[in-house]
């Protein structure tokens, strides 16, 4: 079969993915094996694959494929999150493009559009994961609004309410006055705006003047306050000054009058106020500012809500009732000026929040919301992480987690949205309410506590939906129907899951809450290990995001480089918990690696047709010719086998410790450097020469083993090469790892020596400008001739020597190379540049002498000798002896030049 010049990934990738699916390799059912379970962090149902998903899912696939190849029952559960805010925003935008306003639709009509949208676009991201090679069990695909899942979310709400963990409370929210809806913080966009800062005088209680504003003094008859929002004056409840502000110390606890209304309010001291902003005096409007609300809570101030939900003034404002807020701002300024309340007006630049959806200025507004009290739920969840029942990788996130959990705040779970799990609360016209699964149950509950008997027609369900995270915190058990079908075989088998792979920015939103839900509803932790990925950034260090448009098109990259190369590129430099700067050159490196593998395959396939037959036998491959294996082959075979043993053990350790990036680097180097650059060159027969059958078969076997090691990282090309190397009866995807054998360190040491000598001799050739094709004669002066005889054949081949001789004396007119205590003399036709050789030797000598000096400095330090561990001292003494021997060798060589 003719193999293409370069590796062409696209057809091969789709071929193998279909094959794996047809063989059902990714499907898992409970059995007697140990389970290894990962639940996918469910991407937004409307999402498309971006670099963050790529990183995250590649890691999960590596873990799950490794587990599968270790003989575990690997189960990776796919699914999507309904993502209430994001999805609803998209549906609203889609409708707006069609000219349909959400407000013109009934809830049912809107939800119908939303479901249509979900059916149409909801599966895209899951399809894209297949392109990446993700080995998910597709039969288990879940959605946070599947019927059973939906019911479980509602039941959890009811249950927590019954247990007293859920309550109603006021909260300051971002309000969109045009859409008449609350906004999440993410939906508020801050823009720099040119505003005005109004300095408004408030008359102080106790001024004796008839016209305090015009005739009085600041701080005696009036107090001046700076504000950018004069229309909120009508809702003022207090004036606040910094307690250390000398200007106002005499006013603490005194009163002033709200302009135009003459309502009396108190002057309170609080550190919150900055001394040097405005006048140092702050008006406090608890109903219309986040920070003022906090102050209001702290000092128990009256909350006067002066605004309606459409941004017009309410009855509580007393003035301008029904008029629009910005019109009122102009009017009130005019009226304040007329009444001499305005001291001055300054230009002022500030950040103002705008609605992402309607682009109107967001209004902070108080509203009744549903809350989960977190303290009790947090306690077991904190303990589990701190005592390592749940391991964080890297562990540094434990600090962050502890701090947050120890200072946990209650969780506001209601969202003013239609797409999501509708809150199961029912309200009677008099404001009484009940939490219940159905209207009938709700009605019965309300009526049981009320003299008035309402009918079904009287009560209405809460319009709001639950926070998306209130459903996804159940994910690790509800994907196995752990709540809807408690104690079923699946949840008992797969739960607790093994590893969670996620981004650190959702450690509180999601990870912490899953742990809480796990203990609350399963009395058990949801997972054993949590692997935190980094954030993927662009080359300039910016977080990749849709709004910046700096996220590359992942499918385009897969088309261009191949999925394996993309997986390689994203993994090669991404240690757990560290951000990764995405650079397309890493993908190129991945593609080049694919190509390297492909070319190694081509070389081996070329040998296949040239396997030497046994000298006597004809026609049968010489499997019994082991004794005839050429010398270079014997050492190479043994050495590479030991390297495989060594690296298999290293990689296993690294993967167990979640050092995936390092494991990949180690395998990469084993394949590129040890296998291709050293081993294959060592066993490579001369041009058009036959290859020894033992060497050939062992090489194929090693190659297969390498593919198996690499498979979790780069599944497609490894499967392809595995099948091209040999007729196979199985697939690499499910091939079980062999037991790891210990490595022979003596053989490895010989290999290192051989590499060192080859490199040094090649360097000497280069520096002396001996052409690659020019042969040399090599003389070795050593006390350990046996060590070199073992590797002599390879050495000759690799440094293009046509003879090797052992000598006990200096060889004249040669280039001398010193390695440890041994000397190598290169005899070549080339005229020797003795000055250059001498300079090189002197440089080596200087290095060794400096090194020796640093060792001697330590050893001559009495305190070091007294205090350091014996093995450390022994090591230093060995360094000393080695360095002295090297210096002696170099000095001897210098004499002869």
Partner RNA sequence: GGGAGCAUAGCUCAGUUGGUUUAGAGCAUCUGCCUUACAAGCAGAGGGUCCGCGGUUCGAACCCGUGUGCUCCCA
Q: How far is the CB of 801 from RNA (least distance, A)?
A: 14
The DSSP code for 742 is: P
Q: Which residue stretches of 522-620 are H helix?
A: 554-561, 563-571, 584-608
Kindly state the helix (H) or strand (E) to which residue 191 belongs, with its residue range. strand 188-204
Taking the complex as a whole, how short is the minimal distance between the CB of residue 157 and RNA, in angstroms?
A: 21
CB of 211 or CB of 274, closer to RNA:
274
Cα Rg, the chain, nearest whole Å: 38
Our CB check for RNA shows the closer of 629 and 817 to be 817
The DSSP output letter for 103 is: G
User: How far from the centroid of its chain's Cα atoms is residue 175's Cα?
Assistant: 32
Q: What are phi and psi of 459, to 5 degrees?
A: -95, 155
DSSP string spanning 516-540? HHHHHHTSS-SEEEEEEP--EE-TT
Min dist CB 429 to RNA, Å, is: 34
Question: Based on CB atoms, which residue is closest to RNA, 329 or 605?
Answer: 605
Burial 485-511 (b: 16+ CB within 10 A, else e): eeeeebbebbbbbbbbbbbbeebbbbb
CB 740 within 8 A of CB 796: no
Going by their DSSP bridges, the two strands 263-269 and 255-258 should be labelled as antiparallel
Query: 79-80 and 142-143 as β-strands: parallel, antiparallel, unpaired?
Result: parallel
For Cα atoms 605, 607, 613, give the angle at the middle one, nearest 5 degrees.
Answer: 130
For RNA, the closer of residues 175 and 397 by Cβ is 397
Tell whether the torsion through CA atoms of 388, 391, 392 and 396 is positive or negative: positive
Measured from the CB atom, the residue of 123 and 575 that comes closer to RNA is 575
Q: Which is closer to RNA, CB of 580 or CB of 695?
A: 580
Closest contact distance (angstroms) between CB of 557 and RNA is 14
Instruction: State in angstroms the smallest separation of the CB of 41 from RNA.
Output: 15
Taking the least distance from each CB to RNA, the nearer of 335 and 529 is 529
CA torsion angle for 720, 721, 726, 732 (degrees, to 10)?
Answer: -60
Instruction: Write down the least CB distance from residue 170 to RNA, Å.
Output: 14
Nearer to RNA, 624 or 689 (CB): 689
**Closer residue to RNA (CB): 89 or 425:** 89
535, two tokens: 């954030």
Report in angstroms how near the CB of residue 300 gets to RNA at its nearest. 19
Q: Which long-range contacts (CB under 8 A, 24 or more apart) does 490-493 make?
A: 490/30, 491/522, 492/30, 493/30, 493/35
Minimal distance, residue 313 CB to RNA, in Å:
26
Closest CA to 633 of 600, 583, 681: 681
CA distance 307 to 232: 9
Q: Which of 338, 384, 619, 357 is nearest to 496 (CA)?
A: 384
Closest CB 505 distance from RNA, rounded Å:
4
Specify the residue, 355 or 574, whose C-beta has the smaller distance to RNA. 574
Q: How far is it, in rounded angstroms, from Cα 452 to Cα 122?
A: 46
Q: Indicate the pairing of strand 238-241 with strand 263-269.
A: parallel
The gap between the terminal CA atoms of the chain, to the nearest Å, is 56
Least distance from RNA to the Cβ atom of residue 423, Å: 20
Least distance in angstroms from the C-beta of 473 to RNA? 15
The pair of structure tokens assigned to 633 is: 């082959």
Three-class secondary structure of residue 50 per DSSP: coil
The helix (run of H) or strand (run of E) holding residue 291 is helix 290-299
Residue 367 CB, nearest approach to RNA (Å): 15
Give the residue with the Cβ less far from RNA, 386 or 872: 872
Whole-number Å distance between alpha carbons of 798 and 682: 8
Give the nearer residue to RNA in terms of CB position, either 94 or 412: 412
Residues in the chain: 897
When the beta carbons of 455 and 585 are compared against RNA, the nearer one is 585
Min dist. Cβ of residue 512 to RNA (A): 11
Token pair belonging to 232: 């909120």
């Amino acid at each position: 079969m003719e193999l293409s010049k370069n590796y062409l990934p696209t057809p091969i990738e789709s071929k193998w993915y279909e094959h794996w699916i047809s063989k059902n390799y990714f499907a898992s059912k409970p059995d007697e094996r140990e389970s290894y379970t990962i639940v996918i962090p469910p991407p937004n149902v409307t999402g498309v694959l971006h670099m963050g998903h790529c990183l995250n899912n590649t890691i999960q696939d590596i873990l799950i494929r490794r587990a599968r190849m270790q003989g575990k029952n690997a189960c990776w559960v796919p699914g999507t999150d309904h993502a209430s805010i994001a999805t609803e925003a998209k549906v609203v935008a889609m409708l707006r493009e069609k000219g349909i306003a959400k407000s013109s639709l009934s809830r049912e009509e809107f939800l119908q559009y939303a479901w249509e949208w979900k059916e149409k676009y909801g599966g895209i991201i899951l399809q894209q994961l297949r392109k990446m090679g993700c080995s998910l069990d597709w039969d288990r695909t879940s959605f946070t609004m599947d019927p059973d899942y939906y019911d479980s979310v509602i039941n959890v709400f009811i249950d927590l309410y019954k247990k007293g963990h859920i309550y109603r409370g006021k909260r300051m929210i971002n309000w969109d006055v045009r859409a008449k809806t609350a906004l999440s913080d993410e939906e508020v966009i801050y823009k720099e705006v040119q505003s005005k800062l109004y300095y408004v005088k408030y008359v102080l209680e106790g001024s004796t003047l008839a016209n305090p504003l015009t005739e009085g003094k600041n701080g005696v008859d009036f107090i001046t306050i700076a504000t950018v929002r004069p229309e909120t004056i009508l809702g003022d409840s207090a004036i606040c000054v910094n307690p250390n502000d000398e200007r106002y110390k005499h006013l603490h606890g005194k009163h002033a009058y709200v302009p135009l209304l003459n309502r009396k309010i108190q002057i309170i001291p609080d550190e919150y106020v900055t001394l040097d902003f405005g006048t140092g005096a702050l008006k406090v409007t608890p109903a219309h500012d986040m920070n003022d609300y906090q102050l209001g809570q702290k000092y128990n101030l009256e909350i006067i809500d002066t605004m309606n939900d459409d941004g017009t003034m309410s009855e509580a404002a007393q003035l301008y009732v029904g008029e629009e807020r910005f019109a009122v701002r102009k009017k009130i300024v005019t009226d304040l000026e007329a009444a001499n309340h305005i001291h001055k007006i300054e230009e002022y630049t500030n950040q103002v929040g705008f609605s992402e959806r309607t682009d109107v200025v967001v209004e902070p507004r108080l509203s009744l919301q549903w809350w989960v009290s977190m303290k009790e739920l947090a306690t077991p969840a904190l303990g589990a992480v701190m005592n390592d029942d749940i391991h964080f990788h890297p562990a540094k996130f434990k600090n962050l987690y502890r701090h947050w959990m120890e200072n946990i705040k209650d969780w506001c779970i209601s969202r003013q949205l239609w797409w999501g799990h509708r809150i199961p609360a029912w309200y009677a016209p008099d404001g009484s309410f009940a939490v219940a699964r159905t209207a009938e149950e709700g009605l019965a509950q309300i009526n049981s506590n009320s003299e008035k008997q309402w009918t079904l027609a009287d009560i209405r369900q809460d319009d709001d939906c639950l926070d998306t995270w209130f459903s996804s915190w159940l994910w690790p058990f509800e994907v196995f129907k752990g709540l809807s079908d408690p104690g079923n075989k699946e949840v008992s088998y797969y739960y607790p899951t093994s590893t969670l792979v996620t981004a650190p920015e959702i450690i509180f939103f999601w990870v912490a809450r899953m742990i809480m839900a796990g203990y609350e509803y399963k009395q058990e932790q949801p997972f054993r290990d949590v692997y935190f990925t980094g954030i993927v950034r662009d080359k300039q260090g910016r977080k990749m995001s849709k709004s910046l448009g700096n996220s590359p098109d992942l499918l385009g990259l897969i088309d261009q480089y191949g999925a394996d190369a993309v997986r390689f590129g994203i993994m090669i430099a991404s240690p757990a918990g560290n951000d990764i700067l995405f650079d397309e050159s890493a993908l190129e490196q991945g593609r080049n690696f694919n190509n390297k593998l492909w070319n190694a395959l081509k070389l081996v396939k070329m040998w296949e047709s040239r396997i030497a037959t046994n000298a006597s036998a004809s026609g049968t491959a010489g499997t019994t010719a082991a004794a005839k294996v050429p010398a270079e082959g014997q050492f190479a075979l043994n050495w590479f086998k030991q390297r495989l043993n060594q690296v298999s053990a290293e990689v296993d350790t690294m993967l167990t410790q979640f050092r995936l990036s390092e494991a990949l680097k180690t395998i990469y180097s084993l394949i590129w450097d040890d296998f291709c650059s050293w081993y294959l060159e060592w066993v490579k027969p001369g041009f058009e020469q036959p290859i020894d059958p033992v060497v050939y078969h062992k090489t194929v076997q090693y190659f297969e083993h390498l593919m198996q090691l690499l498979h979790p990282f780069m599944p497609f090309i490894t499967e392809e090469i595995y099948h091209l190397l040999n007729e196979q009866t199985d697939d690499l995807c499910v091939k079980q790892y062999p037991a790891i054998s210990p490595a022979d360190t003596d053989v490895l040491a010989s290999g290192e020596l051989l590499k060192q000598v080859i490199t040094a001799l090649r360097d000497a050739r280069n520096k002396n400008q001996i052409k690659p094709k020019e042969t040399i004669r090599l003389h070795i002066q050593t006390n350990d001739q046996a060590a070199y005889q073992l590797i002599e054949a390879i050495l000759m081949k690799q440094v293009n020597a046509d003879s090797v001789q052992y000598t006990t004396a200096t060889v004249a007119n040669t280039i001398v190379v010193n390695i440890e205590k041994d000397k190598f003399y290169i005899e070549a036709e080339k005229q020797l540049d003795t000055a250059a050789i001498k300079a090189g030797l002197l440089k080596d000598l200087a290095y060794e002498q400096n090194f020796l000096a640093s060792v001697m400095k330590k050893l001559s330090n009495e305190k070091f000798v007294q205090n350091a561990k014996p093995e450390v001292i022994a090591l230093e003494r060995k360094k000393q002896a080695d360095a002295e021997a090297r210096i002696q060798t170099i000095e001897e060589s210098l004499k002869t030049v």
